[in-house]
């Protein structure tokens, strides 16, 4: 490990509330922000005991996130299973009230809303889920599924208008009118996802949170559904938060991408910039797993193989949460100080590209070289023994990079 000094712009402490304003170099609230997430944490208590419900620990599912989604844009959120993507999505809808921090939607603090007001605001935010079969009631016809939300929001009072709208919705998602009388099991996976999208659209939302919208579909169908989402965005002026564990899925649809690791955002950039110059070691690893169509580039590109599971979110590593798996980890700072999301001082990197790594500059310049990662035992939290809740506890964390790997060479996936 080298004694290289971290960047002067680097500050210690958690990535948190004020990071977003300062790091951008301008006040992002001047942009047309539809969703404004500030310092959001969602911690789930771990309870034990038969008689007394004693809290013995917490799952730090979302742990200090700042994120702004501008009107009309698509924000892609990627990260491994268990990194907290869905929990953040649910916090934005206030389905999972944040333990700390705030979510403003269209200028209104979601947490301040109750009853009828909250219900009306929820009309503006709709979800599309990964598993359309699981989220569509098999006993309801497509017509009844689509009318359900419309009824709840008083959009079916005029019968003629409602049936016109049903036909319009089906045509928008590329299904025939005859689909109205059918049931979910009569459709293919891709068609069911179209029904799920039509249902989300039925109440005229402003924001659609699509949680792994194509993960359950065949690759050929994935592209069709992604294209459909793009067309609908243009037609209805929608804003999207698209959640996926796969960078390839969000690549073409997203304007900006946020990469999540253990409850925090480790890198955020416009999609093109993220693919051209991934700066965070974790993003580099994710990116190196995305195949490149050009066989020559594919042969030469850097491969960083991420092995081992995500450490348990009930006992996240100290300092930089990625330090147990990071091939660029340094003796100073990495284990003790949580890096903030900041604009690095790297020529050619724009002010909207932020990274939470103490050593981003030195890694990019090649001053710091990757090294073998020694297996490390991460102790399970005292209360974190519930495997079903936490996912696998980390006994061995190892990140092995390809022998032909060249240091600081970017993801090579661009
Ligand atoms: N209601 C809950 N109570 C306790 N722990 C929870 C709850 N919901 C989620 N978690 C835990 O929080 C962590 C983050 O979960 P989350 O579902 O947000 O991850 P994710 O990134 O969406 O993963 P995936 O890609 O598998 O969907 C996980 O460890 C999960 O077990
Ligand atoms: S170099 Fe250090 S701060 Fe940067 S990602 Fe690796 S462990 Fe984290
Ligand atoms: Mg999820």
Q: Is residue 412 part of a domain?
A: no
Q: For 368-383, how does the pLDDT look when each residue is reduced to its tens digit (9 = 90+)? A: 998 877 655 555 544 4
Q: Is residue 374 part of a domain?
A: no
Q: Is residue 270 part of a domain?
A: no
Domain of 207, in residue numbers: 33-254
Q: Is residue 118 part of a domain?
A: yes
Average pLDDT on 239-243 reads 97
Average pLDDT on 122-138 reads 87
Total domain count, the chain: 1
Q: Is 387 in the pocket of ligand 1 (CB under 6 A)?
A: no
Lowest mean per-residue pLDDT among 105-109, 127-131, 329-333, 348-352: 127-131
Q: Is residue 342 part of a domain?
A: no
Question: Distance (Å, rounded) from C-alpha 81 to C-alpha 309?
Answer: 9
CB of 259 within 8 A of CB of 280? yes
Q: Using CA positions, which residue lies closest to atom 17 of ligand 1?
A: 86
Phi-psi region of 371 (alpha: psi -120 to 50; beta: other; left: phi over 0): beta
How far CA 176 is from CA of 91, 104, 139, 195, 202, in Å, comes to: 35, 38, 20, 11, 16
Portion of the chain with pLDDT greater than 90, in percent: 61
Average pLDDT on 6-29 reads 39
Residue 169's nearest CA partner among 206, 201, 132 is 201
Locate 18 and state its tokens: 């004020």
Phi-psi region of 408 (alpha: psi -120 to 50; beta: other; left: phi over 0): left
CB of 154 within 8 A of CB of 202? no
Q: Is residue 313 part of a domain?
A: no
Q: Which atom of ligand 2 is nearest to the CA of 339?
A: 3
Answer yes or no: is pLDDT of 8 > 70.
no
pTM for this entry: 0.84
Q: Which atom of ligand 2 is nearest to the CA of 326?
A: 6
**Which parts of 239-344 fold into alpha helices (H)?**
247-251, 271-276, 281-288, 295-300
Residue 222's nearest CA partner among 184, 251, 199 is 251
Question: Distance (Å, rounded) from C-alpha 332 to C-alpha 202?
Answer: 53
Q: Is 383 in the pocket of ligand 1 (CB under 6 A)?
A: no
Answer yes or no: is pLDDT of 306 > 60.
yes
Q: Tell how far the Cα of 276 is from the centroid of ligand 1, in angstroms.
A: 30
Q: Which neighbouring-strand residues pair with 65? A: 40
Answer yes or no: is pLDDT of 3 > 50.
no
Q: Is 359 in the pocket of ligand 2 (CB under 6 A)?
A: yes
Q: Which neighbouring-strand residues pair with 404? A: none
19: CB partners within 8 A, 6+ apart:
66, 340, 341, 342
Q: What is the CATH number of the domain that holds 165?
A: 3.40.50.300
Give, in degrees to the nearest 5, the angle at Cα 216 between 210 and 219: 100
Q: For 42-94, how does the pLDDT look when each residue is reduced to its tens digit (9 = 90+)? A: 999 998 877 778 899 999 999 999 999 999 999 999 999 999 999 999 999 88
Q: Is residue 46 part of a domain?
A: yes
Helix (H) or strand (E) holding 21: helix 19-24
Q: Using CA positions, which residue lies closest to atom 3 of ligand 2?
A: 357
Q: Is residue 263 part of a domain?
A: no
CA torsion through residues 178, 184, 186, 190, sign:
positive
Q: Is 325 in the pocket of ligand 2 (CB under 6 A)?
A: no
- Give the residue carrying structure tokens 């310049």: 365
Q: Which atom of ligand 2 is nearest to the CA of 358?
A: 3
């Amino acid at each position: 490990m080298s004694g290289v000094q971290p960047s002067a712009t680097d500050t210690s402490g958690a990535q948190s509330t004020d990071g977003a304003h300062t790091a951008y170099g301008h006040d992002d609230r001047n942009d047309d922000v539809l969703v404004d997430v500030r310092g959001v944490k969602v911690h789930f208590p771990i309870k034990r005991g038969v008689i007394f419900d004693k809290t013995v620990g917490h799952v730090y599912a979302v742990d200090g996130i700042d994120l702004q989604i501008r009107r009309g844009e698509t924000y892609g959120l990627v990260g491994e299973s268990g990194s907290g993507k869905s929990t953040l999505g649910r916090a934005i809808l206030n389905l999972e009230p944040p333990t700390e921090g705030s979510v403003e939607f269209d200028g209104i603090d979601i947490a301040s809303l109750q009853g009828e007001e909250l219900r009306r605001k929820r009309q503006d935010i709709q979800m599309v889920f990964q598993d359309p079969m699981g989220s569509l009631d098999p006993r309801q016809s497509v017509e009844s599924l689509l009318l359900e939300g419309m009824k709840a929001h008083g959009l079916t009072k005029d019968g003629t208008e409602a049936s016109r709208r049903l036909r319009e919705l089906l045509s928008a998602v590329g299904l025939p009118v005859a689909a109205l009388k059918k049931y979910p099991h009569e459709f293919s996976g891709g068609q069911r996802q179209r029904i799920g999208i039509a249902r989300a659209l039925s109440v005229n939302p402003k924001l659609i949170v699509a949680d792994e919208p194509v993960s359950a579909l065949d690759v050929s169908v994935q592209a069709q559904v992604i294209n459909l989402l793009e067309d609908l965005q243009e037609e209805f002026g929608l804003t999207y938060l698209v959640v996926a564990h796969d960078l390839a899925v969000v690549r073409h649809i997203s304007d900006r991408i946020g990469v999540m690791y253990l409850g925090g955002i480790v890198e955020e950039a416009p999609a093109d910039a993220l693919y051209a110059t991934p700066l965070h070691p974790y993003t580099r690893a994710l990116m190196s797993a995305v195949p490149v169509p050009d066989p020559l580039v594919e042969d030469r590109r850097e491969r960083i193989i991420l092995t081992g599971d995500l450490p348990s979110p009930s006992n996240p590593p100290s300092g930089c949460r990625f330090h147990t798996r990071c091939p660029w980890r340094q003796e100073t700072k990495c284990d003790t100080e949580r890096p903030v999301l900041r604009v690095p001082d790297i020529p050619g990197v724009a002010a909207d590209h932020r990274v939470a790594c103490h050593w981003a500059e030195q890694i990019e310049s090649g001053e710091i070289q990757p090294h073998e990662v020694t297996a490390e035992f991460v102790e399970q939290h005292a209360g974190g023994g519930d495997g079903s809740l936490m996912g696998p506890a980390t006994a061995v964390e190892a990140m092995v990079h390809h022998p032909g790997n060249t240091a600081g060479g970017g993801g090579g996936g661009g």
